[in-house]
DNA sequence: TATTGTTATACTCTATAACTATA
DNA sequence: TATAGTTATAGAGTATAACAATA
């Protein structure tokens, strides 16, 4: 579901943020899927291209769990866009090396991502556009910087086998 | 994960919307959990209180699947906040009737939701606050009104048993 | 025949735990 | 001992299908 799961009696920030982020995410996913990428694959590809980075570092940048990163790198390798290389400095770590094809795809995916963002922002008058980005940046760096503690109980330990 | 799973090379609307909506959602969930509600329970409770509504109608308002609504109404009934009543007009349908206790809780949960929103918006200067709401409303009603088609293949049919 | 709500269950996503290999 | 990455799998969330009651 789209998750507007809060009321709408007045200026409902929850609804607005949930809805716009959800729709933008579907647009991004649809656009990237045309070249066979997920948003996560795009994210890892671009940041692996910028610098020699390990899976752990890339997971940190993209705010993914390391196990999610395994799946993402598997997909990139399978598509021939990146390769795991044992780090010379720390033989436990894997550097994600982007292939030539991967670099080409990364350029395409970055262009796609930029286009999707420009189309959304372009739908706003110049003044609102800047104000939106300024306000969201303020929130993201301030009051909405870090997630609240989850009210849900921690997951139970695995059953004895 | 927090899902900033797109790059951050420039003004990254995806990251900003995903991040702020995620954090606000955790704040809302944490705040509502103090009175034993989820965001969905709050949403259903408030809209059931406004008018005589069936599960199907409430599901539509909250953008939930009807099977998700079953679970949500089960929780509300179990907590003594609402009851299912067979509609007199259409005996297939169930009107969600809010109990007295449910009405009290709805007032509390609405106050909590308002507070969470006010705290976030209050962290912004007056001018940015209005601009943010204006810009988000424009997007939500315009370019980011409806989700793009899912690029994922439809779910396979259930296996023969 | 179509629709409301229910049950059962399948699929996706994400995270925890345990493991291997290094450090 | 601790960390990088892997595997297996648990749990949450959600959606599909089939069904009963009613329209």
Q: Is residue A60 part of a domain?
A: yes
Spacing of B54 CA from C8 C1' in Å? 23
Confidence band for B152, pLDDT divided at 50, 70 and 90: low
Q: Is residue A47 part of a domain?
A: yes
Q: Is residue A57 part of a domain?
A: yes
- Alpha carbon distance B34, B28 (integer Å): 10
Q: Is residue B62 part of a domain?
A: yes
Measured between alpha carbons, how far is residue A77 from residues A23, A36, A45, A73 in Å?
A: 29, 13, 11, 6
D strand bases under 7 Å from protein CB: 3-18, 21-23
What is the residue-averaged pLDDT of chain A? 88
Confidence band for A151, pLDDT divided at 50, 70 and 90: low
Q: Return the pLDDT at B72.
A: 95
Residues 6 or more apart in contact with residue B37 via CB below 8 angstroms = B45, B105, B109
Q: Return the pLDDT at A7.
A: 40
What's the rounded mean pLDDT across residues A128-132?
A: 93
Contact (CB<8Å) A151/B10: no
Q: Is residue A149 part of a domain?
A: no
Q: Is residue A11 part of a domain?
A: no
Confidence band for B94, pLDDT divided at 50, 70 and 90: very high
Q: Return the pLDDT at B149.
A: 77
Give me the domain span that covers residue B95. Answer: 39-140
What CATH number does the domain containing A58 carry? 1.10.10.10
The domain total for chain B is: 1
**Residue B152 approaches strand D within 7 Å at CB:** no
Q: Considering only the beta carbons, identify the residue of A14, A117, A138 that sits closest to B14.
A: A117
Alpha helices in A79-99, H assignment, sequence order: none
What three-state secondary structure class fits A38? coil
Q: Is residue B29 part of a domain?
A: no
- Encode burial over A10-32: b for 16+ CB neighbours within 10 A, e otherwise: ebbbbbbbbbbbbbbbbbbbbbb
- Alpha carbon distance B17, A140 (integer Å): 9
The per-residue pLDDT for range B52-64, each reduced to its tens digit, is: 999 999 999 998 9
Q: Return the pLDDT at A149.
A: 76
Q: Is residue B27 part of a domain?
A: no
């Amino acid at each position: 579901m789209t998750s507007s799961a809060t009321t709408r009696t007045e200026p409902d920030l929850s609804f607005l943020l949930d809805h716009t982020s959800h729709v933008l995410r579907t647009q991004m996913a649809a656009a990237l899927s045309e070249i066979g990428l997920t948003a996560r694959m795009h994210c890892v590809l671009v940041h692996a291209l910028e610098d020699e980075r390990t899976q752990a570092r890339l997971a940190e940048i993209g705010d993914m769990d390391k196990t999610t990163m395994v799946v993402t790198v598997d997909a990139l390798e399978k598509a021939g866009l990146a390769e795991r290389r044992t780090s010379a400095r720390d033989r436990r770590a894997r550097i994600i090396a982007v292939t030539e094809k991967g670099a080409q795809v990364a350029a395409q995916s970055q262009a796609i991502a930029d286009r999707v963002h420009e189309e959304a922002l372009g739908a706003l008058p110049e003044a609102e556009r800047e104000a939106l980005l300024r306000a969201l940046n303020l929130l993201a760096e301030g009051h909405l910087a870090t997630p609240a503690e989850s009210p849900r109980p921690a997951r139970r330990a695995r059953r004895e086998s």
